[in-house]
Chains A and B, each alone.
Chain A
Amino acid sequence: MLEARALDVNFPVFQGVLKRQVGSISAVSNVSLSVRRGETLGLVGESGCGKSTFLKALAALVKRSQGEVRLDNQIIDPTVQSDLAAFRRSVQMVFQDPAESLNSRHSLHQILTEPYEIHGLYSPSERIERVQAILNSVGLGNTSLSKYPHEFSGGQRQRIGVARALTLEPDYLLCDEPVSALDVSVQAQLLNLLMELQEARQLGLLIVAHDLSVVRHISHRVGVMYLGELVELAPTLPLYTEPKHPYTEALLDAVPVPDPTRRNRPRTVLSGEIPSPQNPPAGCRFHTRCPHAWERCRVEKPALQMIATDHFAACHRNDT
């Protein structure tokens, strides 16, 4: 199990000639999540809500300010080299834009054998064998290893990104908007590929996305983030049918429904901008935009509570 406990990420804000710290941006605040092997957890929220930052903090790519990450109940200390190396082999990442995340000066061979080089695994011929096998499993079987990223299409490139993440045979794959840079027609193929790979390798998938239908399609559980906080976490069906947090309701209502007879359905429409994470609102962070907010929400921060089986939400409305 890959677990984040009370994870905080704060980015300092510097100003002036001497670059003194004048404040900090609370990008991720007190987020606890866990992914089991073979499970897909979707993480949604509007842009700037800290979902990507959370993912990167979990992958030890962004320094976390507080909280801990546990892998199979072992606390991972990113300052200990041996810990980190083992963690990297077990937890890998897939990035949003494959054109950006593949070094355009490296051939496929260099890109895919680099992980082995870094960790000093296998002989050169074994490496190539393994790379070929992995390329097969992502549907790029007959590809020449001497090609360069720009010779591939967007979807193929993302497959290469997935293949690279798989080279070290990780148990968990963290995907940062894995399909949002791709054509809609290719998105489904890649999602199906991820699901196939999960089946075959018992991967634990943590997928960050802003496309709710994508998340619904592949996730077993879904977490919703708002302004750096986890506001709701539930199995997919209950979350989509009976959301317990007004923000989740609003998000779901924003999804277009291809049904003209429901054109006039009642919808929760959010007004206003997302507040600055440098100066988050007191109490519930959502109260400035919440249609149901009352006095208590402005003062007291709601805790993430279990409302039904495996269904957690952080809203005072659920107390009454």
Chain B
Amino acid sequence: MIRLDPITRDRLTRFQGIRRGWWSALILMALIAFTLVAELFVNSRALIVHYDGEWYFPTYGAVIPGTTFGEEYAYETNYKLLQKRFADEGSGNWVLMPPVPFDPYEINSYAGEFPPHAPNFDRGHYLGTDIAGRDVTARLVYGFRIAIWFSIALLASTYVIGIILGCLMGYRGGWFDLIVQRLIEVWSNVPFLYIIMIVASIVTPDFGMLVFLMVIFGWMGMTWYMRTATYKEVSRDYVMAAKALGASDWRIITTHILPNTVSVIVTFIPFSVAGGITALTALDYLGFGLPPPTPSWGELLKQGTDRLDAAWIVTSVVTGLVLVLVMVTFVGEAIREAFDPRRLTRYE
């Protein structure tokens, strides 16, 4: 069990007391955890297949060819058809499908209809399909998974750079600080969107490439804040006291300064997450993000705004986007409130 210092404990209690933010945080956390096992809930592969006394769990693992279950094809089993066949045969074999039996790439066609298909509970398209016939629920879920992990990866990388560099700038000061400051100012003026457009026209950016590009042009923000926070802490007497005891710079930074600047870092996290999600959505909307057919909210939004007659598309994605962003903002607001130094100040 990690022992929390009283300031952190105070802040945590206060955060939990702000119910809106606390519940939003719990729900978001659950959603993020859910994306890790999304295959169990939204997938075209079956959860369990019971065939001729054998058990199969196709969700994770290699492709199981249709021949395994007595089908005539050697490509991946179509479990929805298999389920129907088993039901028709009534031979005691059965297939258990996930609640949403579609994957985000699967194109569903129905005789006599053109996509987009409207929501239909019998078919399992709870939110309908997009203009290519892909299930909107599946694309929303997997689009969210990509967006949230994109944000987290972006946040982690920019924060690592920002914290290290900002700390060094604030701690060392002098010429190093001056040069890096000017560098950041120059670098901040590089038009990010143009760079992305140029890069996207040369190569197709994948997930890692896009995170890399965003980090390269977005690491500056945290650096500023950390620099200021470090400057503030360095001038305080407890740092001087640690120096007087003979503490090394490394020790001073890691055990004294960083724990005291944690409020700066934590307060910015929700806003960075929201920023990451909107950035990716915007890029995808413009067509400079992840290449199709990657499930993405931006692409779905684009389809939705193009086809306002198929209102289920735009409604689903806008609702999803708004809900997630509002929850993230609630968390951010609650953290800011809980970390407000004015409420922790004691006058003696």
Chain B contacts for A85, CB-based, 8 A: 246
Could you tell me which residues of chain B, from 208 to 245, have a CB within 8 Å of some CB in chain A?
236-238, 240-245
A164 and B241 contacting across the interface, CB-CB below 8 Å: yes
Contact of B246 among A19, A56, A119, A150 (CB under 8 A): A119
B246 and A101 contacting across the interface, CB-CB below 8 Å: no
Could you tell me which residues of chain A, from 230 to 275, have a CB within 8 Å of some CB in chain B?
none
- A92 to B, closest residue via Cβ: B244
A59 and B238 contacting across the interface, CB-CB below 8 Å: no
Majority SS of interface residues in chain B? helix
* Shortest CB distance B305–A (Å): 47
Chain B contacts for A99, CB-based, 8 A: 348
A148 and B6 contacting across the interface, CB-CB below 8 Å: yes
- Which of these binds chain B: A104-112, A131-139, A297-305? A104-112
B244 and A103 contacting across the interface, CB-CB below 8 Å: no
Contact of B241 among A102, A105, A148, A154 (CB under 8 A): A102
B251 and A103 contacting across the interface, CB-CB below 8 Å: no
* Shortest CB distance B265–A (Å): 14
B244 and A61 contacting across the interface, CB-CB below 8 Å: yes
A105 and B237 contacting across the interface, CB-CB below 8 Å: no
Instruction: Report B165-176 CB contacts with A as 1/0, cut-off 8 Å.
Output: 000000000000
* Shortest CB distance B325–A (Å): 33
Kindly state whether residue B247 has any CB partner on chain A within 8 Å.
Answer: yes
User: Interface extent on B, as a size class?
Assistant: 20 to 34
A114 and B245 contacting across the interface, CB-CB below 8 Å: yes
Tally of A-B Cβ pairs under 8 angstroms: 68
* Shortest CB distance B46–A (Å): 52
Tell me the complex Cα distance, A107–B255, Å: 12
B348 and A168 contacting across the interface, CB-CB below 8 Å: no
- B5 to A, closest residue via Cβ: A105
Chain A contacts for B237, CB-based, 8 A: 95-97, 100-101
B238 and A103 contacting across the interface, CB-CB below 8 Å: yes
A103 and B240 contacting across the interface, CB-CB below 8 Å: no
Kindly state whether residue B14 has any CB partner on chain A within 8 Å.
Answer: no
B244 and A105 contacting across the interface, CB-CB below 8 Å: no
B244 and A93 contacting across the interface, CB-CB below 8 Å: yes
Whether A118 touches B348, Cβ cut-off 8 Å, given contacts A100-B236, A102-B238, A107-B5, is: no
Kindly state whether residue B26 has any CB partner on chain A within 8 Å.
Answer: no
A118 and B246 contacting across the interface, CB-CB below 8 Å: yes
A148 and B246 contacting across the interface, CB-CB below 8 Å: no
Chain A contacts for B255, CB-based, 8 A: 114
A150 and B178 contacting across the interface, CB-CB below 8 Å: no
Kindly state whether residue B256 has any CB partner on chain A within 8 Å.
Answer: yes
Tell me the complex Cα distance, A100–B255, Å: 16
Chain B contacts for A280, CB-based, 8 A: none
Residues of A bordering B, CB below 8 Å: 19, 56, 59, 61, 84-85, 88-89, 92-93, 95-97, 99-107, 114-115, 118-119, 148, 150, 154, 161, 164-165, 168
- 16 further contact pairs, Cβ within 8 A, besides A100-B238, A114-B245, A115-B245: A59-B244, A61-B240, A85-B246, A88-B244, A92-B244, A96-B237, A101-B237, A101-B241, A104-B7, A105-B7, A105-B8, A107-B5, A114-B255, A118-B245, A118-B247, A119-B246
- Contacts A/B (CB < 8 Å), 18 sampled: A93-B240, A93-B244, A95-B237, A95-B240, A95-B241, A101-B240, A103-B238, A103-B260, A104-B7, A105-B8, A106-B5, A107-B5, A114-B247, A115-B245, A115-B246, A118-B251, A119-B246, A168-B245
Residues of B bordering A, CB below 8 Å: 5-8, 178, 236-238, 240-248, 251, 255-256, 259-260, 346, 348
